[in-house]
């Protein structure tokens, strides 16, 4: 025989994070390891190389990418704004925030395409070149996936599917997008800044 | 309990309705679409064992070739393929997934919930695993199985030295199967933290759950490294990049670092859940609680941490700076401490209890002896000068088989006898189980102990034959005889397993008088696991809580799914991370083809890369992306 007992729910003031949010956090941990491994490889090869970049390749210029770094990092701001909006049920802020962030992210991708076009070296030239393309390419792929996710969330937002109490998808997407931005800080400092400070 | 006739009519209606709500669609559709963690878990186990017997057969071919000097059972090329596929299959396609299978089946039950946190992802990780296995084995069909050893070092494995498709099957297969492991780990972590019976606070988790949690975290941090190693290797091979090409400034040593950054923790990824199983079985058959629960859980976590600081001990022979190597040597010795603690926890438990010598207990005891020896030789090879002597000799082969085959496979076999009755509802024959154990134990030691000696006599690993007159003849015969005896022992368990399905005695709910929640439900487990979620206030609910209290549903979102109404709703409660208080309700999705389609898309993608056909690759990506988009789109409905 068993006895049925009533269970008191957890009443706490703090926000609860649903399963999908936790799943994304763990996914981000493992993704962060991939980038850590790539950047680690970059510094490993750099440490054993006589010159860097190898073969005196001319590295990509710093000024323009700095501008687009600001653009990419800036694209997180509208997401924060959109999130805090939908928490209060503000549909307009959600829609505009997502759209703005999309445009900023997309312009970062356009710049990446231009940069690849203008570079003086190809992916096969040497290990520096391979690492450069692998790291920026993988990050670019993440931005691209983020843009796709943004699109889905945005369509749902314009259809009015979210509300003050139901907007988990927005938060999960936001988490991912911020991660992609944070990774860029590391990529930017390793691949660009560190080559231009004497 | 068997008084069905006396149950009120209402009761039967509830049963009927539960069945309607939970049962998969019959036949093929249900087969491909199921998201039930129990079906998926058992499938994992079945599939992994198929790979175990394939890899075992390969090992027997290896041994047949090495029985006598200058034998010609297989040629040198076939031999290279045999040991490569044997090692690769055992690690990637048997050991890792079989433990994931037990985890999948047992975790929700031991936690007292109705499924995993992401049931569809769970199905996805299974399909990815099978398809990756099939992918690697199609290499035999086209006559190009991988042949670069299970760690595929460069420059042997670059495009110049290995021009065929062989290594591409390996590299792409490793990336492919890594997706399955990673997705599985995410699922384990979130399930453990968020889906527990009310009251199952973190200090009441069964040790097996602790071990799965530690394993999952190791996967999250380690697997990216091997994925990267294999991806960069493939990039070099397929697209001509220069990561590992020393002529163009790359580094083949970098590959070794990346590989072993995963490779060493991988040993513990396999070992830790095996330890978890042992720590569940020994207390049950010693008829007392584990002595030193906190020490055991702490040691598992400590092992998980330290295992990331030792990878360079696989590279002592590469000429790294002495100081760096000394650090890694010391760290490798430190790992003996938590292992030693665990050892004493088990001994103390048996000492203070009254041991019942059932088959699972025999396997656990065999494990203890083997682990003792494997650990000792592990300490030996952590010391650099000794490692330089033993490197690439049969001593190392002996050492890692004591760990991988002894300290991981013995617990898994014990676990079969222990938990299969829960999964199938039938007991396995004790007589055959004991016979199987003794054959495996004697065979194991005959096969692998002499390898230590052979290694010290200078017999190298991975060489397909040897000359007469080196003094290796007798021992090699012993090793081969032992290998076949061991293999026969495993076959006996297979027979016992199959036989139990028709002739086994009914298991009942709790045949071993065990303490954890999976034994509170019927065998085989009903589709919904628990009609009402149990309420836990002890580390050993079935020993200390008689009768086991069941939660009743409340009106709030947090408590709505606790009782039978929750089961009728295909819902299960979400609880808080540390103290497991009811927090919210999760809807368990119905069957869907999506996971299978997505995995299929990945398979097409990897095939495209393999044959370097752009269209195929793009088609694969397209299928996978469409699948993902559809998934993301549909998901919203069941997210709160
Ligand atoms: C039926 C029992 C087994 C036998 C008789 C056996 C035998 C062998 C032998 C003789 C070799 C060395 C081949 C050589 O270096 O020339 C070998 C290699 C290996 N075995 Fe096993 N083995 C068995 C089970 C296992 C298990 C259960 C695992 C792991 C879970 C395993 C993992 C490996 C690995 C990783 C290698 C190294 C392959 C390489 O050098 O690339 N073996 N095995
Ligand atoms: Cu190691």
Q: How far apart, in whole angstroms, are the C-alpha atoms of residue B177 and residue B137?
A: 13
Rg (alpha carbons) of chain B, rounded to whole number: 25
Cβ–Cβ gap A123/B575 under 8 Å: no
DSSP state of B48: H
Q: Which of residues 133-172 of A touch B (CB under 8 A)?
A: 133-134, 148-149, 152, 156, 161, 166, 168-169
Residue B551 parent element (H or E): strand B550-552
Tokens found for residue A128: 């520096």
> Whose alpha carbon is nearest atom 14 of ligand 1?
B462
pLDDT single digits (tens) B58-70: 999 999 999 999 9
**Whether residue B409 has its Cβ less than 6 Å from ligand 1:** yes
What is the per-residue DSSP string for B494-542? HHHHHHHHHHSPB--S-TT---SGGGGS-SSPPTTS-SS-B---SSSHH
Contacts of B629 in chain A (CB under 8 A): 148, 152
> Whose alpha carbon is nearest atom 1 of ligand 1?
B56
Cα A120–Cα A117–Cα A113 angle in degrees, nearest 5 = 135
Q: Does A63 touch chain B (CB under 8 A)?
A: no
**Highest-confidence range of A10-14, A143-147, A155-159, by mean pLDDT?**
A143-147
- Residue A15 has a pLDDT of 66
Tokens found for residue A39: 């950047």
Cα B178–Cα B184–Cα B188 angle in degrees, nearest 5 = 145
pLDDT single digits (tens) B312-340: 888 887 878 888 788 888 888 888 899 99
3-state secondary structure B554-616: CCCCCCCCCCHHHHHCCEEEEECCCCCCEEEEEECCCCCCHHHHHHHHHHHHHHHHHCCCHHH
Cα B391–Cα B393–Cα B395 angle in degrees, nearest 5 = 95
What is the per-residue DSSP string for A98-153? HHHHHHHHHHHHHHHHHHHHH-S--TTS-HHHHHHHHHHHHHHHHHHHHHHHHHHH
Chain A interface test: which of B120, B242, B254 (most A C-beta within 10 Å): B242
Q: Which residue of B has its CA nearest to A16?
A: B583
**Whether residue B410 has its Cβ less than 6 Å from ligand 1:** no
Q: Does A33 touch chain B (CB under 8 A)?
A: yes
- Residue B352 has a pLDDT of 94
> Whose alpha carbon is nearest atom 8 of ligand 1?
B59
Question: Residue A189 — pLDDT band, cuts 50, 70, 90?
Answer: very high
pLDDT single digits (tens) B243-299: 999 999 999 999 999 999 999 999 999 999 999 999 999 999 999 999 999 999 999
Question: Residue B634 — pLDDT band, cuts 50, 70, 90?
Answer: low
Tokens found for residue B73: 């059972």
Write the CATH number of the domain with boundaries A36-44+59-196.
Answer: 1.20.120.80
State residue A21 phi and psi, 5-degree precision.
-65, -45
Question: Residue B639 — pLDDT band, cuts 50, 70, 90?
Answer: very low
Question: Residue A120 — pLDDT band, cuts 50, 70, 90?
Answer: confident
pLDDT single digits (tens) B372-425: 888 788 777 777 777 777 788 999 999 999 989 988 999 999 999 999 999 999
> Whose alpha carbon is nearest atom 2 of ligand 1?
B56
Q: How far apart, in whole angstroms, are the C-alpha atoms of residue B452 and residue B395?
A: 4
Distance from CA of B265 to the nearest CA of A (A): 14
Q: What is the ipTM of this complex?
A: 0.95
Q: How far apart, in whole angstroms, are the C-alpha atoms of residue B112 and residue B517?
A: 6
Residue B353 DSSP SS3: coil
- Asked if B620 contacts B605 with a C-beta cutoff of 8 angstroms, the reply is yes
Distance from CA of B581 to the nearest CA of A (A): 5
Q: Which residue of B has its CA nearest to A167?
A: B640
Q: CA B622, B628, B632, B633 torsion: positive or negative? A: positive
Q: Looking at residues B488-509, what average pLDDT do you find? A: 94
pLDDT single digits (tens) B217-237: 999 999 999 999 999 999 999
Q: Name the closest ligand to CA B52.
A: 1
Distance of CA B508 to the CA centre of its chain: 27
Cα A48–Cα A54–Cα A56 angle in degrees, nearest 5 = 140
Of the candidates A10, A23, A128, the beta carbon closest to that of B186 is on A23
Alpha helices in B150-251 (DSSP H): 166-194, 207-239
Tokens found for residue B14: 């509830």
Residue A6 parent element (H or E): strand A4-6
- Asked if A42 contacts A191 with a C-beta cutoff of 8 angstroms, the reply is yes
Q: Looking at residues B631-638, what average pLDDT do you find? A: 60
**Whether residue B150 has its Cβ less than 6 Å from ligand 1:** yes
Q: How far apart, in whole angstroms, are the C-alpha atoms of residue B596 and residue B186?
A: 18
- Asked if B408 contacts B274 with a C-beta cutoff of 8 angstroms, the reply is yes
pLDDT single digits (tens) B558-585: 888 999 999 999 999 999 888 888 888 8
pLDDT single digits (tens) B605-624: 999 999 988 888 888 888 88
Percent of chain A with pLDDT over 70: 96
Cβ–Cβ gap A18/B548 under 8 Å: no
**Whether residue B83 has its Cβ less than 6 Å from ligand 1:** yes
Residue B395 DSSP SS3: helix
- Residue B547 has a pLDDT of 87
- Residue B383 has a pLDDT of 77
Q: How far apart, in whole angstroms, are the C-alpha atoms of residue B121 and residue B595?
A: 7
Task: Pick the closest to residue A22 from B439, B216, B463 (CA basis).
Answer: B216
Question: Residue B4 — pLDDT band, cuts 50, 70, 90?
Answer: very low
> What residues does B584 pair with on adjacent strands?
B574
Chain B interface test: which of A12, A37, A124, A141 (most B C-beta within 10 Å): A37
- CB A192: neighbour CB atoms within 10 A? 18
Average pLDDT for chain A: 91
- Residue A14 has a pLDDT of 59
> What residues does A4 pair with on adjacent strands?
B550
Cβ–Cβ gap B550/A5 under 8 Å: yes
Q: Does A8 touch chain B (CB under 8 A)?
A: yes
Is the peptide bond between B524 and the residue preceding it cis, with omega within 30 degrees of 0?
yes
pLDDT single digits (tens) B146-180: 999 999 999 999 999 999 999 999 999 999 999 99
Question: Residue B640 — pLDDT band, cuts 50, 70, 90?
Answer: very low
Ligand 1, residue B405: give the atom nearest the CA: 27
Q: Which residue has the tokens 């299969």?
A: B420
pLDDT single digits (tens) B423-442: 999 999 999 999 999 999 99
Average pLDDT for chain B: 91
Cβ–Cβ gap B258/A22 under 8 Å: no
Give the distance (Å) from ligand 2 centre to CA of residue B493: 30
pLDDT single digits (tens) B32-82: 999 999 999 999 999 999 999 999 999 999 999 999 999 999 999 999 999
> What Cα–Cα distance (Å) separates residue B231 from each residue in B134, B150, B259?
19, 16, 11
Whole-structure pTM value: 0.95
């Amino acid at each position: 025989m068993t006895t049925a007992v009533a269970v008191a729910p957890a009443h706490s003031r703090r926000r609860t994070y649903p399963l999908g949010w936790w799943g994304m956090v763990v996914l981000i941990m493992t993704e962060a390891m991939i980038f850590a491994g790539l950047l680690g490889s970059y510094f490993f090869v750099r440490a054993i190389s006589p010159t860097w970049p190898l073969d005196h390749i001319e590295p990509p210029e710093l000024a323009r990418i700095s501008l687009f770094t600001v653009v990419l990092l800036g694209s997180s701001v509208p997401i924060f704004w959109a999130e805090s909006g939908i928490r209060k049920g503000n549909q307009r802020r959600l829609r505009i925030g997502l759209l703005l962030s999309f445009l900023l992210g997309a312009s970062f991708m356009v710049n990446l395409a231009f940069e690849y076009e203008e570079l003086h070296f190809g992916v096969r030239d040497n290990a520096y070149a391979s690492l450069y393309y692998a790291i920026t390419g993988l990050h670019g792929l993440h931005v691209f996936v983020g843009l796709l996710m943004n699109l889905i969330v945005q369509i749902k937002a314009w259809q009015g599917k979210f509300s003050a109490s139901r907007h988990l998808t927005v938060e999960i997407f936001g988490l991912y997008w911020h991660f992609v931005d944070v990774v860029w800080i590391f990529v930017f400092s390793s691949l660009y800044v560190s080559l231009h400070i004497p | 309990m068997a008084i069905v006739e006396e149950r009120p009519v209402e009761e039967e209606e509830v049963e009927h309705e539960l069945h309607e709500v939970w049962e998969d669609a019959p036949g093929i559709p249900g087969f491909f679409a199921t998201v039930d963690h129990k079906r998926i878990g058992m499938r994992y186990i079945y599939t992994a064992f198929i790979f175990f017997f394939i890899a075992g057969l390969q090992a027997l071919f290896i041994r047949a070739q090495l029985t006598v000097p200058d034998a010609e059972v297989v040629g040198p090329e076939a031999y290279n393929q045999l040991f490569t596929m044997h090692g690769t299959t055992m690690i990637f396609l048997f050991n890792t997934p079989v433990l994931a299978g037990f985890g999948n089946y047992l975790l929700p039950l031991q936690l007292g919930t109705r499924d995993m946190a992401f049931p569809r992802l769970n199905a996805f990780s299974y399909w990815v695993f099978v398809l990756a296995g099939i992918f690697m084995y199609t290499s035999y069909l086209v006559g190009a199985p991988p042949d670069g050893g299970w760690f595929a070092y460069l420059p042997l494995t670059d495009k110049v030295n290995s021009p065929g498709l062989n290594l591409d099957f390996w590299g792409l297969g490793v990336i492919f199967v890594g997706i399955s492991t990673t997705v599985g780990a995410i699922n384990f972590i979130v399930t453990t933290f968020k889906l527990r019976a009310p009251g199952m606070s973190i200090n009441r988790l069964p040790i097996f759950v602790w071990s799965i949690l530690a394993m999952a975290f190791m996967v999250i941090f380690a697997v990216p490294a091997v994925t990267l190693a294999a991806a960069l290797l493939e990039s070099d091979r397929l697209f001509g990049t220069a990561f590992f090409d020393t002529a163009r400034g790359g580094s083949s040593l970098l590959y070794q670092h990346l590989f072993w950054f995963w490779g060493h923790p991988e040993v513990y990824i396999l070992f830790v859940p095996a330890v978890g199983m042992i720590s569940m079985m020994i207390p049950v058959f010693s008829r007392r609680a584990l002595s030193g629960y906190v020490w055991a859980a702490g040691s598992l976590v400590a092992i998980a941490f330290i295992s990331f600081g030792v990878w360079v001990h696989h590279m002592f022979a590469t000429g790294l700076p002495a100081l760096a190597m000394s650090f890694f040597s010391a760290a490798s010795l430190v790992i003996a401490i938590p292992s030693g603690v665990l050892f004493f926890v088990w001994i103390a438990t048996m000492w203070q209890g009254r041991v019942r010598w059932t088959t699972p207990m025999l396997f656990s005891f065999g494990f203890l002896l083997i682990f003792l020896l494997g650990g000792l030789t592990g300490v030996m090879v952590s010391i650099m000068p000794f490692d330089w002597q033993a490197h690439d000799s049969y001593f190392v082969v002996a050492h890692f088989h004591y760990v991988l085959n002894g300290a991981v496979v013995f617990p898994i076999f014990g676990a079969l006898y222990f938990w299969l009755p829960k999964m199938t509802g039938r007991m396995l024959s004790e007589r055959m189980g004991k016979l199987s154990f003794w054959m495996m134990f004697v065979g194991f030691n005959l096969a692998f102990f002499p390898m230590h000696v052979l290694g010290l006599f200078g017999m190298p690993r991975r060489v397909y034959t040897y000359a007469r007159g080196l003094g290796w003849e007798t021992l090699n015969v012993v090793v081969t005889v032992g290998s076949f005896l061991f293999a026969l022992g495993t076959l006996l368990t297979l027979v016992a397993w199959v036989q139990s399905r028709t002739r086994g005695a009914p298991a009942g709910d709790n045949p071993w008088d065990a303490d954890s929640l999976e034994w509170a439900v019927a065998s085989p487990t009903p589709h919904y696991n628990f009609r009402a979620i149990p309420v836990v206030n002890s580390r050993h609910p079935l020993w200390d809580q008689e009768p086991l209290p069941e939660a009743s549903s409340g009106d709030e979102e947090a408590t709505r799914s606790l009782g039978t109404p929750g089961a009728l709703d295909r819902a299960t409660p979400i609880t808080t991370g540390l103290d497991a208080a009811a927090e919210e309700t999760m809807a368990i999705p119905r069957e869907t083809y999506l996971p299978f389609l997505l995995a299929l898309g990945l398979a097409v993608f990897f095939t495209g890369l393999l044959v370097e056909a752009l269209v195929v690759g793009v088609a694969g990506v397209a299928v996978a992306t469409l699948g993902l988009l559809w998934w993301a789109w549909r998901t919203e409905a069941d997210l709160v």
